[in-house]
Amino acid sequence: MPIRPGIEVASLSDLGCQRENNEDSFSYWEPASDAEFAQKGRLAVVADGMGGHEGGQEASRIAVEAIQETYAETPATDPQTLLTAGFHEAHQRIQSYAVAHPKLRGMGTTATAVVVVATNLYYAHVGDSRLYRVTREEITRLTHDHSYVGRLVESGVISPEEAEAHPQRNILTAALGAGAEIVVETPGAPIPLKTGDALVLCSDGLWGQLTDLELQRAVLQNPPVTACRALVNLARERGGPDNITVQVLRVA
């Protein structure tokens, strides 16, 4: 789709080196009308499915579609409210699909989504995909990992460095489609962006193989399309044990 001036966008999803199919999904969307664009801005989503190859693939696809459809088709209101509503709709659709397809029960997915309206950032997050903000001064992870190991880090039981190699780091404590209710992580208020700031959405197949500094360098030293390819190649060089998905949005 045509991308309006004001931002550079690139996305890439890769099977990795050890998987037989890709259970990640992603999307980027802008409204067709300028009037709606002024209200809703730009939406980007990354999801990483779980529950067996077919279940995970379906769960991530359903999540991305539900979030985008809810955001696009609901009459304009606060972007954060729309985004959160999309996550709840995705949660319900995945559960309904699992009931209709009993072999896929247990399916679920992470999801991380951003909306950029003018220079304001909104986001919603469930699971252990990640959202980073990259500037020339620093790289900041805006989301928390909803995982067993993430809880250990937040409680001070282990360090972030120990978490990266923890054998149980892939055990999620929250996912769309899992459990009766979900709590969607959101910012307390819109986050202002500056020219040159970059947003990175990625699945754990990427961040699990790279350091934050390597991610920052790739994004700062390359245009988004080249940065995506460089990051995926680096994750593959280190074994690529999982599917690898990344989106880079840079404020122009």
What are the tens digits of pLDDT across the range 103-136? 998 899 999 999 999 999 999 999 999 999 999 9
**CATH class entry, domain 7-251:** alpha beta
Alpha carbons 27 and 76: distance in angstroms, whole number: 20
* 74-97 per-position pLDDT tens digit: 998 899 999 999 999 999 999 999
pTM for the complete prediction? 0.93
DSSP class per residue in 16-68: -SS-SS--EEEEEE--SSHHHHHHH-EEEEEEEEESSHHHHHHHHHHHHHHHH
Query: What is the domain partition of the chain in residue ranges?
Result: 7-251
What's the pLDDT band for 178 if we cut at 50, 70, 90?
very high
